[in-house]
Amino acid sequence: MRHLILGNGPAGVVAAETLRRYAPEDEIMLYGCEGEPPYSRMAIPYLLEGNIDERGTYLRKQEGYFAAQRITLREGRAVAVDTAARTVLFADGHREHFDRLLVATGSSPILPPIPGIDLPGVTPCWTLAHARAIAERLQPGARVVQMGAGFIGSILLEAFVKAGAKLTIVELGDRMVPRMMTPVAGNLIRRWVEEKGVQVFTETRIDAIALGAGQGNDTAAGPDGAPLLVQLSNGERLPADMVIVAAGVKPNVAFLEGTPVHVASGVLVNERMESAGAGIFAAGDCAEAPDLFTGQHLVAAIQPNAVDQARVAAVNMAGGHATLKGVLAINVLETLGLVSTSFGQWQGVPENQEGSGVEWVDEAAYRYLSLQFQKDRLIGATAIGLTEHVGVLRGLIQGKVALGPWHERLLANPLAFVEAYLARAQYSALLAA
């Protein structure tokens, strides 16, 4: 049996290792397209901060590790799949046969179609190549404009601040991290970073990026000799040495066009991580798996979900039977030392769907908690500055624990969530015994 894995990020590597364990005699080929050893994108901010070197980003650091596992590493970008012939066509024209195929191709940064997006000094921060280019320009006092204050952007900003850059963030939404934080929480994070010297514009877009004075034909641009000039929708013009694009990502699935594999945003998979294409599985940032609560398909682009999905897919590729209970949205973010988390349906559900919720905030101490319920079950939570026992919130949500009388108690005192967990999770365990 020949297993072909497209993508050598965390999902691809864990799938290959799991396959080796469950199918010791099978052939395993692992393809990446960057010409780098398998590495973690999540480690790139630490690389820019100087806390680790490039080797520190590698997923497996032991020399000859993959060869010892009899996992063949190859470089190539898939451009098409022939499901009848069971082959993948790569950009260099060669084909690979497969019996089982795992699509773990991850995602790529979105580059908004604005003038100047392709200028030198304008770059995403997504690959090791990007990180090298940014490091060359990242000096103390460098003027950095960052497009986007989502999850990725809020991780990256710490590297720029620690490098001594003069950082300005431009976010289209009405708050920082709008897709994982409530309005109160997002604005609390904004105030935190502003106190650290970061300039933040929300409800603002970058309309254009131009070359600075002496850098091109725009002689009106470039005050202070800046190589770039950033035009904002609020009328501001910002001189910049570098523009970082952190405006979101999209799954790498275009090469599946014309196949039986169903693609929405990512590859639609069932609880076994199987797509509609026979023998074709998907995992990680390019997969849309059923949500734990709603059953609707969801791209949950975080490493723990990618790894869980990869293990399930690999067991099934090896002929076993494994299922994923459902994807739970989990976000854990540290922004200049402020830890924030959100789990599940943190936005809550309407009252006509038996939803209820409560917020608690201590703005002076940068502490915040939001709990969202449906009937007497916790379905989502957002927290800032609560680092102890916050995993309990995940346990209550993922376990779909019936809170009984603790529902009303938590509405009155949301900080009692640990007591609720001890009381009700153990109660549920006893009932199940």
71: CATH? 3.50.50.60
> Is residue 182 a part of any domain in this protein?
yes
- Res 327: pLDDT: 86
Q: What is the pLDDT of residue 433?
A: 57
CA distance 296 to 290: 5
Classify residue 383: in a domain, yes or no.
yes
- pLDDT at site 9: 96
pLDDT score for 300: 79
Per-residue burial over 144-174, b = 16 or more CB atoms within 10 Å of its CB, e = otherwise: bbbbbbbbbbbbbbbbbbebebbbbbbbbbe
pLDDT at site 428: 64
Q: In total, how many domains does the chain have? A: 3
Judge whether 256 lies within some domain: yes
User: What is the amino acid identity at position 342?
Assistant: S
Is residue 114 assigned to a domain? no
Residue 18: per-residue pLDDT = 98
pLDDT at 221: 46
Same domain, 132 and 88: no
Residue 187 lies in a domain: yes
Query: Is residue 140 domain-shared with residue 231, that is, in the same domain?
Result: yes
Q: Are residues 142 and 105 in the same domain?
A: no
Encoding tokens for residue 320? 């076993």
pLDDT of residue 223: 54
- pLDDT-flagged residues of the chain (< 70): 213-224, 426-433
Is 253 found in the same domain as 314?
yes
Residue 282 lies in a domain: yes
> Are residues 310 and 367 located together in one domain of the fold?
no
Instruction: Report yes or no on 331 lying in a domain.
Output: no
Residue 21 falls within a domain, yes or no?
yes
Range of the domain at 343: 337-431
Same domain, 156 and 239: yes
| Prediction pTM value | 0.89
Listed residues 245, 276, 296: the one ending a domain: 245
Neighbours of 283 (CB within 10 A): 32
Alpha helix locations (H) across 138-177? 151-162
Residues 103 and 193 in one domain: no
